[in-house]
Structure 1
């Protein structure tokens, strides 16, 4: 079946999107929270097979200076097919014109994002809701 694309929230099944993030695996993001974060994002991208969401991602952006690419997820059976690459390309193109596009990657996925021009930041810092979990998952150094 052919992949179709959507950049709108029209008709999104938030429970289905929740299942996608769990399967990807990008953690347990509940449907209500996903609706909130996608609604508050400037750009979004959904890859569909028929009516089924097989990949997604979003960009928070201010329209001029900074865009943050996040939550790129692809169902496991479609990983390695170029679908994630297509989602990232579409989102980066959507954010074109911003002075910087940032993201933080799952540890080990940095080489994938380098292909798009992303480079490691030397001064990036973060405050996580669960600092211990962020250390454990390899997102930040222990204080």
Structure 2
């Protein structure tokens, strides 16, 4: 694997990035939407293998208090090889100096994130665009 790492959005093909998220599979994220969220993210990480985009991630950060890591994705062909861990470690390192680093995770992946030093928050709350879908996918607890 000849991996090339980048933090710049200047040479990103937003259609290619959108296809990466569909393949990962992390859902349908439109190219224009991705351009907006990656443009507004303080930290970004892109990984190419011989020119092909195979991994990406970003962190929204305010420069002091909070950095929020999200949208970390890998093509299935590159999963299970430690590349996801490297992307996350890079985003954590870029986020150092913030009082807290928060991660939005796919349900079931908690042991992986725990191995990187993340711990479950007991106070996190969310409002999703589609609350029902988020609940069915395991992102929300049922109200008691």
Q: TM-score, normalised by structure 1?
A: 0.98
**Aligned partner of residue 127 in structure 1, secondary structure:** coil
How many pairs align?
143
Partner Cα separation in structure 2 for residue 104 and residue 40 of structure 1: 17
The residue aligned with 1:94 is 94
Partner Cα separation in structure 1 for residue 4 and residue 114 of structure 2: 26
The residue aligned with 1:53 is 53
Asked if 1:65 is matched to 2:62, the reply is no
The residue aligned with 2:4 is 4
**What do you get for the CA RMSD once the two structures are aligned?**
0.7
Gaps of 5+ in 1: none
**Aligned partner of residue 116 in structure 2, secondary structure:** coil
Shift of 1:142: 2.4
Asked if 1:37 is matched to 2:26, the reply is no
The residue aligned with 2:13 is 13
Partner Cα separation in structure 2 for residue 141 and residue 114 of structure 1: 20
